[in-house]
Amino acid sequence: MSRFFLKFQEYDRNVFMWINGRLHNRFMNFWLYYFTHLGGATSSIAVSLLIWLLAPAPWSTTGLQACIALAVSHIPVAIAKKLYPRIRPYLALPDTITFRNPLSDHSFPSGHTTAIFSVTVPFMATEPFLLLTLLPVALIVGFSRIYLGLHYPSDVLAGATIGTLVALATVAFWT
């Protein structure tokens, strides 16, 4: 492996251990355990579908864009998980703090982070004022994946990048 890649992995691991080990407290344990589910399949699919089917225009179109971005964004996620089968941090690092029912599939990239960005970015593109609310939500979901011991920071960054790029491409398709 290249020296750069080894240094990057070390930095990634150190940032993970700082977030996962030093920042834990009861308040964040409670809220982040539940907040992380906004990026899960049930929440991201349900919210996107409900907005598409029930909201008036232009929000119904944005809901459809979010549904499409969500579906399409998980193609590169599935491919990356096969090509780069990274072991989840709680399985690789013995002092990792994790919670009940941790995932056991591959870590890279973060599917929850991909989902939350692919669903929120179309709404931020439609109404930039929503960036003030939706971007922090998406960032907190990504942060929660590290905090809960399920992903390295680079997994979350890759998920955010994939979700954002696919969502922007989906929105651009409409214009």
Q: How far apart are CA 107 and CA 160, in angstroms?
A: 14
Asked whether 167 and 66 are in contact (CB, 8 A), the reply is: yes
Could you read off the pLDDT of 3-36 as tens digits, one per residue?
888 888 899 999 999 999 888 888 988 999 999 9
pTM of the complete model: 0.94
Sign of the alpha-carbon dihedral angle for 10, 137, 91, 81: negative
H-helix segments, the chain = 3-17, 26-35, 41-54, 59-83, 89-92, 111-126, 131-147, 153-174
Nearest 5 degrees, angle CA 5-CA 8-CA 11? 155
Could you read off the pLDDT of 102-129 as tens digits, one per residue?
777 888 999 999 999 999 999 999 999 9
**Res. 163: pLDDT tops 80:** yes
Q: For residue 77, count other CB atoms closer than 10 A to its CB.
A: 23
Query: Percent of the chain beyond pLDDT 90?
Result: 73
Q: How far apart are CA 120 and CA 38, in angstroms?
A: 11
